[in-house]
Amino acid sequence: MQESTLHADELNGFIVIDKPKGPTSHQIDYWVRTMLNVERVGHIGTLDPGVSGVLVMALGHSTRLIDVAHEDPKEYVGVMRFHGDVDEKKVREIFSLFTDEIYQIPPVRSAVARTLRKRRIYSLDILEMKGREVLFKVRCDSGTYIRTLCVDIGYMTSGGGQLEELRRISTGPFTEDMCVTMQDVSDASELLKKGDNRLLRKILIPPIFLFRDKPKIVIKKSAMGTIAHGSDLYPGGIKAVIGNPVKGDRVCVISEDNGVVGTGIMLTPAEEISDVKVVDFDRILIDPPDVSEKHVEPRKSEMVRYGNQGRNKKVQKFGNRPHGNFPGTERRKNSGNRGWSNQPKESPRFKEPPSGIREKKDKRRIHR
């Protein structure tokens, strides 16, 4: 049976995978790409093989929004185990010390450079504590290493500590209750081959969901073409402003049918929009419209003969000296002007051009 072809709008969006323990995030990428026959697939926030939970997959043009999604905080639930006996009151005091901006050095086995970095911990709560084990919940900046966080907390005690279990429960607006399994993706793929895309539409989240709590600018249809070709947004192309973005805010630019056109930085407050550029785009999600190339007949040149017509006809070749068979042309007396003038042959200034053509020197020849 021939596979059904996905339309562009169906390829564009997010799928929230409930990643199990074992495979890497890049393996999940490959499986989703293979199952759905999608060319561009990427994930938002890498999870270690031993970590489970929310792994957001971006499909199609939505892969251009991965960097924007990385700006949103992530939330985890984990289990930490201390190496020695600790007092619960002291543990709670230590946890409170890490609720703010912290400094981290990525672990040795990481995909980034091991340089000192600053990350923000928005909340770090102890849900339950039993013996040496602590069940905690943390909300933090993207790029925070929870394993390193647990090691640093352990250093504050006499015996140390380490991470035992970890699960991601949210990535920005994508939460755990939106997760689907790899089996669901496989089922959607098999139904798609039979021409049924209902399950795929059910699990595919539109790109605009990423910006549900952020300011948006609606543009006119007439501005879509120029923006697709790289133009920034000016007041004439704006139809409406949703929210109250100020200068420096990242805004989402959408079409009249609620599709994401791109994102950019606001250059002027919403209430002060005048006649200057409004949004400086940093990414565009739409492609320029397909324009079929018009067939243009090649212009006949004086230097080119077409077919057998005019095969024996003499052709003027422009260069530093006139052709010998074309009388009536001579070099001007003014040596600074290298043009040609049409003078009659009877002109006293006419000089017969040399009959031969000097052979070009071979610069590659070595003279001894």
pLDDT digits (tens, 9 = 90+) for 180-230: 999 999 999 999 989 899 999 999 999 999 999 889 999 999 899 889 988
Tell me, rounded to whole angstroms, the distance of Cα 186 from its chain centroid: 26
User: Measured between alpha carbons, how far is 48 from 27 in angstroms, rounded to an integer?
Assistant: 11
Give the 3-state secondary structure percentages of the chain, helix then strand then coil, rounded to 5.
25, 30, 50
When mean pLDDT is compared over 16-20, 108-112, 323-327, the highest value belongs to 16-20
Is 359 exposed, middle or buried, given 0-12, 13-18 or 19+ CB atoms closer than 10 A? Answer: exposed
Kind plus residue range of the DSSP H or E element containing 170: strand 161-171
pLDDT band at 351 (very low <50, low <70, confident <90, very high): low
Q: What is the pLDDT of residues 250-287, one digit of tens each?
A: 999 999 998 999 999 999 888 888 888 899 999 999 88
Backbone region of residue 165 per phi and psi (left: phi > 0; alpha: psi in -120 to 50; beta: other values): beta
CA 36 → CA 8, 39, 197, 201, distances in Å?
13, 9, 11, 12
pLDDT band at 327 (very low <50, low <70, confident <90, very high): low
Residue among 258, 261, 183, 173 nearest 223 (CA):
261
What does the chain come to in residues?
Answer: 368
Evaluate whether 256 touches 221 at the Cβ level (below 8 Å). yes
Evaluate whether 252 touches 297 at the Cβ level (below 8 Å). no
- CA triple 129-88-93, angle to 5 deg: 115
Question: Using DSSP, how many helices (H) and how many strands (E) does the chain show?
Answer: 8, 16
Long-range contacts of 256-259 (CB under 8 A, 24+ apart): 256/218, 256/219, 256/220, 256/221, 258/206, 258/208, 259/9, 259/207, 259/208, 259/286
Q: Which CATH superfamily is domain 8-70+175-207 in?
A: Pseudouridine synthase (3.30.2350.10)
Buried b (16+ CB within 10 A) or exposed e, 244-255: ebeeeebbbbbb
User: Measured between alpha carbons, how far is 295 from 307 in angstroms, rounded to an integer?
Assistant: 21
> For 263, phi and psi rounded to 5 degrees?
-130, 155
User: Measured between alpha carbons, how far is 239 from 171 in angstroms, rounded to an integer?
Assistant: 31
The CATH classification number of 215-284 equals 2.30.130.10
Predicted structure pTM score: 0.74
Residue 346 has pLDDT above 70, yes or no: no
- Strands 238-242 and 133-140: what pairing? unpaired
Residue 345 has pLDDT above 60, yes or no: no
Q: How many CB atoms lie within 10 A of CB 108?
A: 6
**pLDDT: is 250 or 297 the higher one?**
250
At the top level of CATH, which class does the domain 74-171 belong to? alpha beta
pLDDT band at 149 (very low <50, low <70, confident <90, very high): very high
Token pair of 270, please? Answer: 């919403």
Q: Where are the domains of the chain?
A: 8-70+175-207, 74-171, 215-284
pLDDT band at 337 (very low <50, low <70, confident <90, very high): very low
Evaluate whether 64 touches 283 at the Cβ level (below 8 Å). yes
Whether the domain at 74-171 and the domain at 215-284 fall into the same CATH topology: no
Q: What is the set of active-site residues?
A: 48
| Confidence at residue 324, expressed as pLDDT on a 0 to 100 scale | 55
